[in-house]
């Protein structure tokens, strides 16, 4: 991200906190390469663009085909629809000679990304091939959000049985039923807007997901519209407003850079607080092979069971830690978030 972009976004956050909504919106539009909107302030609640611009990767040209179990590896297109709407997806399935059920990881991309880009950037398919699991990449449509952001900041997409959480949960159930997935080992992770939606899915469907991964994301209910979304992203949000949860939040692993100019690092703390974890255990410190320092905290419950991990990547920005530079929003120098998430996930299964 350029210094000019970060300067404009910082100015937009300052104006938003001071109550200068029109000026803040102008700064945001300029940062994103747009013009000053002509709508009045009262109409801004329905805007859809609330995340930053990233390098756009073109859609794959492959024709849709039905994903199916089998001995050969596949990375296929699909589509799911229910009464709340429909979304495309891509599904990676490793080669397997038998019909034993395999774990499933659901990966939710960030704004302006798509499944192919996110798969490249996270290298999740290579890890899934080596460890024997499926990876589902739902695709946000430009019709639902012009920048392909998951609508985590809208109240009608934050609860069980509503909007995108209902679509995504239905999609996951269909893949479980049709592709030999172990229903006790289903996990969800995401980046930025995708991380915020992963947190929502974990809260809305604890009976479906055994663990959750939130990278550079936000807690459920931290915003209700565009204005409160920017406040939350800047770290100035009020305590989240949440619907009643049907059960405890699944075990959660959080990655966040403490120099993130787009989603303030305090949101990593708030994801854990929303899961009912308030204590700050002593951190262990380390560094990646490239020398990027990090702090790692492990949270346990009263019985000593692991409930969460919190990774703070020192000096890192808004990017998938340890990712492949062939994808957007990646920092290849950091610790490998994909590998650490899988390690954490596979230690947890629903009972």
Per the domain annotation, does 161 fall within a domain? Answer: yes
pLDDT tens-digit profile of 142-195? 999 999 999 999 999 999 999 999 999 999 999 999 999 999 999 999 999 999
* Count of domains for the chain: 2
Same domain, 238 and 117: yes
* Same domain as 173, residue 33: no
249, 289: one domain: yes
Same-domain pairing of 37 and 184: no
Instruction: Give CA–CA dist 263/242, Å, rounded.
Output: 20
Residues 282-318: b if buried by 16+ CB within 10 A, e if exposed? eeeeeebeeebbbebbebeeeeeeebbbbbbbeebbb
The CATH number given to whatever domain includes residue 277 is 3.40.50.1820
Same domain, 42 and 80: no
Per the domain annotation, does 64 fall within a domain?
A: no
Residues 22 and 122 in one domain: no
Where does residue 96 rank: exposed (0-12), middle (13-18), buried (19+ CB within 10 A)?
middle
Q: What is the pLDDT of residues 49-89, one digit of tens each?
A: 444 433 333 333 333 333 444 568 999 999 999 999 999 99
Residue 322: CB partners within 8 Å, gap ≥ 6? 288, 331, 332, 333, 334, 335, 336, 337, 338, 339
DSSP H/E element including 90: strand 85-93
Would residue 20 count as lying in a domain? yes
* Residues 237 and 223: beta-carbon distance below 8 Å: yes
163 and 39 inside one domain:
no
The b-or-e profile of 220-235 (16+ CB within 10 A means b, else e) is: bbbbbebbbbbbbbbb
Q: What does pTM read for this prediction?
A: 0.82
User: Does one domain contain both 283 and 327?
Assistant: yes
């Amino acid at each position: 991200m350029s210094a000019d972009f970060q300067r404009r976004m910082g100015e937009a956050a300052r104006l938003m906190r001071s109550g200068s909504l029109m000026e803040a919106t102008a700064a945001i539009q300029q940062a994103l390469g747009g013009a000053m909107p002509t709508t009045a302030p009262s109409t801004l609640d329905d805007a859809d663009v609330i995340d930053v611009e990233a390098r756009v990767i073109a859609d794959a040209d492959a024709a849709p085909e039905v994903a199916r179990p089998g001995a050969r590896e596949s990375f296929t297109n699909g589509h799911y629809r229910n009464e709340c709407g429909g979304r495309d997806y891509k599904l990676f399935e490793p080669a397997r000679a038998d019909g034993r059920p395999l774990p499933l990881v659901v990966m939710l991309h960030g704004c302006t990304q798509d499944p192919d880009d996110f798969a490249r950037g996270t290298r999740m398919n290579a890890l899934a091939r080596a460890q024997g699991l499926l990876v589902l990449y739902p695709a946000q449509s430009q019709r639902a959000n012009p920048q392909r952001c998951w609508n985590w900041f809208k109240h009608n997409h934050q609860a069980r049985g509503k909007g995108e959480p209902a679509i995504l949960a239905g999609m996951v159930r269909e893949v479980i039923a049709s592709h030999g997935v172990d229903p006790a080992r289903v996990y969800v992770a995401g980046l930025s807007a995708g991380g915020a939606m992963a947190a929502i899915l974990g809260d809305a469907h604890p009976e479906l997901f055994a663990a959750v991964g939130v990278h550079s994301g936000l807690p459920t209910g931290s915003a209700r519209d565009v204005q409160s979304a920017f406040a939350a992203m800047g770290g100035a949000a009020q305590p989240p407003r949440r619907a009643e949860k049907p059960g405890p939040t699944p075990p959660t692993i959080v990655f966040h850079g403490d120099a993130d100019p787009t989603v303030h690092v305090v949101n990593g703390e708030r994801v854990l607080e929303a899961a009912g974890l308030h204590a700050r255990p002593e951190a262990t410190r380390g560094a990646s092979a490239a020398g990027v320092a990090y702090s790692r905290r492990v949270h346990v419950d009263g019985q000593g069971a692991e409930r969460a991990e919190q990774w703070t990547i020192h000096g890192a920005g808004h990017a998938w830690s340890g990712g492949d530079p062939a994808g957007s929003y990646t920092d290849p120098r950091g610790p490998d978030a994909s590998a650490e998430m899988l390690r954490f996930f596979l230690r947890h299964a629903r009972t």
